[in-house]
Structure 1
Amino acid sequence: MKFCTFSHPARGEMRPGILTSDGAMIVDLGDGFSDMLSIIKGGDEAMARVRDLHARAEIRVPLADARLHAPVPVPEQIRDSMLFEKHVYQARAQMIRRRHPVLAPLLIKFGAAKVPDSWYKIPIYYKSNRFSVNGPDGDVIWPRYSQVMDFELEFGFFLGRRGKNIKPGEARDYMFGFTIFNDFSARDAQGLEMQSMLGPCKGKDFDTGNAMGPFLVTTDEIGDPYNLRMQARVSGKTWCDSNSSTIHHKFEDLLARVSADETVHPGEFFGSGTVGDGCGLEHGRFLKNGDVVELEVEKIGVLRNRVVRQT
């Protein structure tokens, strides 16, 4: 199933919906559920009601006439991580090139960009601002304190069940579904913060900076989450064409780590971190005012956002 949150010009409020099998229509679930969180939290009983509403399809809206929002406009929590080794290495190498342009080749040759041993031992993550979620085709407002804006090609899952001390072998049963995540980043602010050995904070936390969508695709429909083509285009030009198979730490290991002696709740979002080649930092180039970023992940769709400087 492909879930979404949408609005229609004739009915302005946001409503939960599900895409028909031909991808042309949205079945309106709003008369049965208040929002996507109520579906996620409702468990098996809610999914049985969803299937009934889907089968009856009493209210259907053409996808072309609907405005899509983030599938879950205000998640219960956002935790983002760094699960792709190539991104970690290339990002470190580019930061060295930016800070030490003359010495960078020598520093990198002798291991300054080496991925830390600790990264291989545990999947690491941070908590992001759950109130700054943006949706498909929403403008990302460039924060005034930054001159260097970047995108990040990620995907991740929403948790469907409450749990604690979840074993990796059981983790898939706790995953409700997957969506695309663009963790827009103010790289100059982030770089300053990380030098102080804490963060990121304002490098990530600004209004409209956490883009998600276009759909929340259930785990059974995704199938193998580690064999999905992942692409990024900036104003029509391809910057990244990779695959989720390049992931190092699996989502199951991440969930086991996060839930160790800590209760996790349905409606929380867990991001993969950036796939290798999936951000401007790795290429040594960044976004310009008006750039349109399109992230595409196989079986989920295309998440499109424009970055706009404030006047």
Structure 2
Amino acid sequence: MRWTSYLSPRDHAEHAALLVDGELRALDRTLLDLLRDADPLEAWAERATAAPWERLAADGVALLAPIPTPPSVRDFMAFEDHVVTSYAAMGIPVSPVWYEQPVFYFTNPAAILGPQQDVPMAPGTSRYDYELEVAAVIGKAGADLRPDEAEGHIAGYVIFCDWSARDLQGHEMKAGLGPAKGKDTATSLGPWLVTPDELAPFRKGNGYDLRMSTSVNGREYSVGNWADLYWSFAEMVAYASRGTVLRPGDVLGSGTVGTGCVLELGLTHGERAYPWLRPGDEVRVEIDGLGAIEARIVEGTAPIPLR
């Protein structure tokens, strides 16, 4: 199944929709409502197919993020290639802790953008970046989950791109916290929440044998593969649930795939070869089986002085 969210022209409200033969079959509920409901998504898919609240051609609708306002957003760092390459290029050793447990930070649920929305520059940045990632969306609440049961709590997967102000990030993290404002302005999700059964034929290693790529202004920058995960989503979900409750709609990003950001490419090939993002740049983030995010970078607001 492929689910998404959109603003209906009928009532100007958010609705969940199932993709069926190039058409959106909508329900008079949000996707977060469906995930929180006792009935499984399969039952809601039957209702959407048989008696939709609204039917629209998918190519004529500006989609929202599948979960426009998640209860929480965690972003992990689970691809070893990215960690090793970027740290080596900066002359920093990889901490042994990274191999002991999956690590993550919390990011901003209020900064979620849809798959075709413009992305503003973070206030004050001159080193803006994309991050090529995949994310799991929690469909069933759970706490203190074991890895062998954690995957059953995943409703589906979405493309995840957290737009990163590298100069702000590097500066604020000198204080021993963060990233915060370096990641606070925008995170794009979508276009579809794809259920795990659709991806099952591609299962490989700790993920799926699906190509991940990013292009900027039509030039290919990044290429990776979901199967290269060091930490599986089962392990990430289990660790995230330790001592707390994961709720339906929570989003867990994988972290950047190897070569999946300008920072990594610039460190290894030089900033002139892979320049930082600027207003007017067109960025396409794509994962086979999940679709693509197509975003235009636009001017952001100026930073307001604190003192």
| TM-score (normalised: structure 2) | 0.89
Shift of 1:45: 5.0
- Give the unaligned 5+ runs of structure 1: 97-111
RMSD: 1.6
**Alignment CA distance shift 1:55-1:306 (3 Å):** same
Q: Report the equivalent of 2:305.
A: none
| Compared CA separation, residues 297 and 195, structure 1 to 2 (3 A) | same
Question: Which residue type is aligned with residue 184 of structure 2?
Answer: D
Identity over the aligned pairs, expressed in percent? 35
- For 1:264, which of 246, 261, 265 is the aligned residue? 246
Residues 71 and 216 of structure 1 are in contact (CA less than 8 Å); yes or no, is this contact kept in structure 2?
Answer: yes
Residue 2 of structure 1 corresponds to which residue in structure 2?
2
For structure 1, which segment, 287-296 or 175-184, has the greater mean C-alpha deviation from structure 2 after superposition?
A: 287-296
2:17/2:48 contact within 8 Å kept: no
State the secondary structure of the residue aligned to 1:212. Answer: strand
**Which residue type is aligned with residue 50 of structure 1?**
A
Normalising to structure 1: TM-score of the pair? Answer: 0.88
1:24-103 alignment, distance < 5 Å: 24-30=22-28, 33=29, 35-45=30-40, 47-57=42-52, 59-94=54-89, 96=90
- Find the partner of 1:125 among 104, 109, 112: 104
Secondary structure of the residue aligned to 1:80 is strand
1:1-311 to 2 correspondence within 5 Å? 1-9=1-9, 11-20=11-20, 22=21, 24-30=22-28, 33=29, 35-45=30-40, 47-57=42-52, 59-94=54-89, 96=90, 112-206=91-185, 209-223=186-200, 224=203, 225-284=207-266, 285=274, 286-310=276-300
Q: Is contact 1:80–1:128 with CA below 8 Å preserved after alignment? A: yes
Q: Which amino acid aligns with 1:70?
A: A
Whole-angstrom CA distance in 2 between matches of 1:202 and 1:271: 18
CA distance in 2, matches of 1:252, 1:153: 20
User: 2:18–2:48: 8 Å Cα contact kept in structure 1?
Assistant: no
Q: What is the rounded CA distance, in whole Å, between the counterparts of 2:295 and 2:199 in structure 1?
A: 23
Deviates more, 1:193-202 or 1:154-163: 193-202
Shift of the 173–156 alpha-carbon distance from structure 1 to 2, 3 Å rule, reads same
Tell me, in whole angstroms, the C-alpha distance in 2 between the residues paired with 1:220 and 1:293.
29
C-alpha displacement of 1:114: 3.1
The residue type equivalent to 1:188 in the other structure is: D
Question: Aligned letter for 2:84?
Answer: Y
CA contact (8 A) 1:8 1:65 kept: no
- What is the aligned residue count? 288
